[in-house]
Structure 1
Amino acid sequence: MKLLFRLCYLLCFFQVTADACEAGGIKVNTDFDGASSANLLTECMIDIENQHIRLTFQPENTPINNSPWYAFKISSQQPQNVSVKISIVNGSHRYHPKYSVDGKHWLPLTFTTSDEYLEFKLHSAKHPVWLAAQELITNNDYHLWAKELATHFDIKTSVLGYSVQQRPILKLISDIPQSNKWVILVGRQHPPEVTGAMALFSFAETLLSTSTLAQSFRREHNIMILPNINPDGVALGYWRHNANGVDLNRDWQAFKQPEVKAVDDALSELTTKGHHIVMAVDFHSTHNDIFYTMPHDYGIKQPYLVKNWLNLLDSKYVDFNVIQRPGNNPDRGVFKQYIADTYKVHAITYEMGDHTDRAFIKQFAVDAANTFMQSMLTAQHDQLHLIAKPND
């Protein structure tokens, strides 16, 4: 009898669909931008009797950094409490699960972990609930952000180029005709790294603001913002790579990926026209808040610029340390190294922690941008003073 029941359960109540799975009025689906694509969700099982949902996710390819992304929706015909168990292939749980009832506003879930599962309980109803490893910031969110910026600030929005799957790569420019100096902001090389995206939003908005400092800064510097250079990875719910299965932040020597090639072409075109790249900031997320910098003695212009900036930023905080980690990796093909080697100027990798308080991320980015502008303008003033000073 038990065997007959199990057979009936599997055949009569369990249905696998193209999007995910459905059984007994409970539905799991991934039919939205940023959700885990079909090849990443390898198991989707609904145990109706025990109200359990079991999901298994795998990365787009291996080897890969341990950044196990997942995003899906759950709904049910009748309100009920369900237990969700998530397991990861070729990775371990890095992110703390979050939920949303509208896909925009997110709250943390109470969860437990073991060697095999991450588990949490959820109240499900007809209105779907979004579940994700981190908050969703989709390709459409970037376009909405750019549109909103254009209503407040003088920026130009265009398409830098196209991804492997022909998604547009957004470019925002605030340029002053009399200036030939450029600051470059880059984001979302790695899809799950949304705390870096949050930092980029606030940092960029501060540079573009109407404050006296920002206006003075923009009289001297053009700003190019490339907020999302991996739109395919973002759309497909990838852990790390682009649609070709390549880590974009390892391609800045080979330039084989269209996303990286598009950025390199744009910067090369600027310098061909007599413009100068003077600084670049690449926004990421990792386990902790940290700034990866170039060594001050690497032979780049204004050698102490970044050190002075981050020291100034650190001085504003009593209970938070701005960690600087200088490093030189000439053979890894990372963005900051590419900028330093190609243009002989500073570049940094601005990392926000996976679990850093979201309000702090935004406020810290505002302070980081303001001290960045102060340091850049001070360094420029000092350089002009030295040039103007007569020889002894």
Structure 2
Amino acid sequence: MTVQISAAFDSGNIRLIAIEDDRIDLEIVKDHESDFYQWFHFRAAGIRGRALTFRILNAGGSAYPDGWPGYRARISTDRQAWTTVDTRYAGGVLEFDWPASSDADADIAWFAYFAPYSMERHHDLVGRMAAMPGVAARQLGATLDGRPLDCLTLGEGAKTVWLYARQHPGETMAEWWMEGALDWLTDADNADAAALRRKATFHIVPNMNPDGSFRGHLRTNAAGVNLNREWHDPTPERSPEVLAVRNAMDQTGVTFAMDVHGDEAIPANFLAGFEGIPGWTDALGAKFYRFRDTLAERSALFQTRQGYATAPAGKANLSMSTNQLAERFGAVAMTLEMPFKDHEDLPDPATGWSPDRCRRLAHDCLANLAAMIDDL
């Protein structure tokens, strides 16, 4: 049987270049109206009994080629369980093989940069949460492709907390984290969650970039715009997603904010803060550092040794959400980064950094917030 390659589905991205015997040559497609690319997600059919090598020929020209060394592609035969597969990178080409362990008897397999979080699963999450007691769902606006921008609100406390994810749509670990956060907050048996809801009101945007998510983009929306460079001056034409969320934040104010992302190169979970904003104070910065450092004490899935360099005084980029919210509201704002590779302090050779561990890290983050909410 001839091997068949397809990416014509929710979050799919690949272009078939050639099939020569048992070698399949592919390219990742650029984000629309953009030069960014790195996210891939495709299925291969007609593979039973075959020993195949998949080659992504343009990996070396991707947005973050430093993300490929040490990276392992994800594979699934049921789109539920995702495992890693041995992956090689040399000469600008990324390679991985089929079969992978016990999957050899399957007719079809899916391959992805990270475990996908489809728009269908997003709608399931929003619907499930909207039916929970004490949760209100609203549409903040519409994307350029006409998709709803969903926000879930819960809690009744005076502190205002905003959690938002997937400004960069290919960073699917961010919405897996959101699923874990929502499950923790709505758990009727969780006394810490109940106490936190009494002290804080949460506004949660699980997916800031539905268009890019569906289109299979790495980093941009339908107009090819990086949403996390729009927070200083969002417009309906370029970044309606940011405009809708920032307008809603202006109405509520922001005490604490977390922007959830994934990082291609660093094999660790870490936080980036708002050093360098014009309105920096040591008192505000101390609250961020306390959250970061106590999270490292609480969670084996988090560390503080690796991360991004901080901006010099007065040099923060206010087009990025964390800096903009800290400056605009005096908020304790931060960016959470999770790896596409593995968390090297606690590696899992079978799954790498995984959806389950994204959800567990969300639980740890919220338990940490509950412990210090009174001091924000």
Q: 1:29 corresponds to which letter in structure 2?
A: S
1:253 aligns with 2:248: no
Whole-angstrom CA distance in 2 between matches of 1:169 and 1:150: 14
Q: Name 2:348's counterpart in structure 1.
A: none
Q: Which of 101, 118, 122 is matched with 1:142 structurally?
A: 122
What is the identity percentage for the equivalent residue pairs of Structure 1 and Structure 2? 21
1:72 aligns with 2:68: no
Which of structures 1 and 2 has the bigger CA Rg? 1
Q: 2:95 corresponds to which letter in structure 1?
A: E
167-176 or 206-215, which deviates more: 206-215
The question of whether the paired residues in 2 share the 8 Å contact of 1:169 and 1:231 is answered with: yes
1:100 aligns with 2:69: no
Q: 2:361 corresponds to which letter in structure 1?
A: F
Q: 1:30 corresponds to which letter in structure 2?
A: A
Whole-angstrom CA distance in 2 between matches of 1:337 and 1:99: 36
Whole-angstrom CA distance in 2 between matches of 1:282 and 1:34: 21
What displacement does 1:321 show? 2.6
The one-character-per-residue Cα deviations of 1:95-150 (angstroms, maximum 9, x if unpaired) are 52111112222111122221132222224778421111111101111111223334
Q: 1:45 to 1:346 in 2, by over 3 A?
A: same
Q: Which of 197, 203, 213 is matched with 2:175 structurally?
A: 197
The one-character-per-residue Cα deviations of 1:211-269 (angstroms, maximum 9, x if unpaired) are 22221221121100001010111111112111111100000012021111111121223
Counterpart mapping for 1:51-130 below 5 A: 51-60=22-31, 68-76=38-46, 79-88=49-58, 90-91=61-62, 92=65, 94=68, 95-123=71-99, 127-130=107-110
Moved over 6 A (4+): none
Q: Secondary structure of the residue that 1:134 maps to in structure 2?
A: coil
The question of whether the paired residues in 1 share the 8 Å contact of 2:72 and 2:85 is answered with: yes
Q: Which of 154, 162, 166 is matched with 1:188 structurally?
A: 166
The one-character-per-residue Cα deviations of 1:10-41 (angstroms, maximum 9, x if unpaired) are xxxxxxxxxxxxxx6221111210001xxx63
What displacement does 1:372 show? 1.0
The one-character-per-residue Cα deviations of 1:307-348 (angstroms, maximum 9, x if unpaired) are 222222222357963357654654450001111121122110
Q: Secondary structure of the residue that 1:172 maps to in structure 2?
A: strand
226-235 or 307-316, which deviates more: 307-316
1:244 aligns with 2:215: no
Q: Name 2:333's counterpart in structure 1.
A: 347
Whole-angstrom CA distance in 1 between matches of 2:301 and 2:260: 23
The question of whether the paired residues in 1 share the 8 Å contact of 2:159 and 2:199 is answered with: yes
Q: Which of 185, 189, 193 is matched with 1:207 structurally?
A: 185
Q: 1:108 to 1:153 in 2, by over 3 A?
A: farther
The question of whether the paired residues in 1 share the 8 Å contact of 2:199 and 2:373 is answered with: no
The question of whether the paired residues in 2 share the 8 Å contact of 1:280 and 1:348 is answered with: yes
What displacement does 1:302 show? 4.6
Q: Name 2:251's counterpart in structure 1.
A: 269
What displacement does 1:374 show? 1.2
Q: Secondary structure of the residue that 1:80 maps to in structure 2?
A: coil
Whole-angstrom CA distance in 1 between matches of 2:294 and 2:106: 52
Q: 2:340 corresponds to which letter in structure 1?
A: D
Whole-angstrom CA distance in 2 between matches of 1:248 and 1:319: 27
CA RMSD of aligned residues (A): 2.7
Q: Secondary structure of the residue that 2:211 maps to in structure 1?
A: helix
**TM-score, L = length of structure 1:** 0.79
The question of whether the paired residues in 1 share the 8 Å contact of 2:25 and 2:54 is answered with: yes
Q: 2:251 corresponds to which letter in structure 1?
A: E
The question of whether the paired residues in 1 share the 8 Å contact of 2:256 and 2:333 is answered with: yes
The question of whether the paired residues in 2 share the 8 Å contact of 1:252 and 1:335 is answered with: yes
Q: Name 1:336's counterpart in structure 2.
A: 322
The one-character-per-residue Cα deviations of 1:346-378 (angstroms, maximum 9, x if unpaired) are 11001112223334433332122111121112x
The question of whether the paired residues in 2 share the 8 Å contact of 1:85 and 1:119 is answered with: yes
1:372 aligns with 2:369: yes
Q: 1:34 to 1:345 in 2, by over 3 A?
A: same
1:311 aligns with 2:308: no
Q: Name 2:195's counterpart in structure 1.
A: 216
352-361 or 186-195, which deviates more: 352-361
Q: Which runs of 5+ in 2 are unaligned?
A: 344-352
What displacement does 1:205 show? 2.8
* Aligned length, in residue pairs: 342
Q: Name 1:154's counterpart in structure 2.
A: 134
The question of whether the paired residues in 2 share the 8 Å contact of 1:300 and 1:345 is answered with: no
Q: Name 1:386's counterpart in structure 2.
A: none
Higher relative contact order (CA 8 A, sep 6+): 2
Whole-angstrom CA distance in 2 between matches of 1:69 and 1:319: 24
Whole-angstrom CA distance in 2 between matches of 1:318 and 1:140: 31
Whole-angstrom CA distance in 1 between matches of 2:169 and 2:301: 30
Whole-angstrom CA distance in 1 between matches of 2:284 and 2:186: 24
What displacement does 1:157 show? 1.8
Q: 1:368 corresponds to which letter in structure 2?
A: C
The question of whether the paired residues in 1 share the 8 Å contact of 2:77 and 2:106 is answered with: no
What displacement does 1:57 show? 1.8
Q: Name 1:18's counterpart in structure 2.
A: none
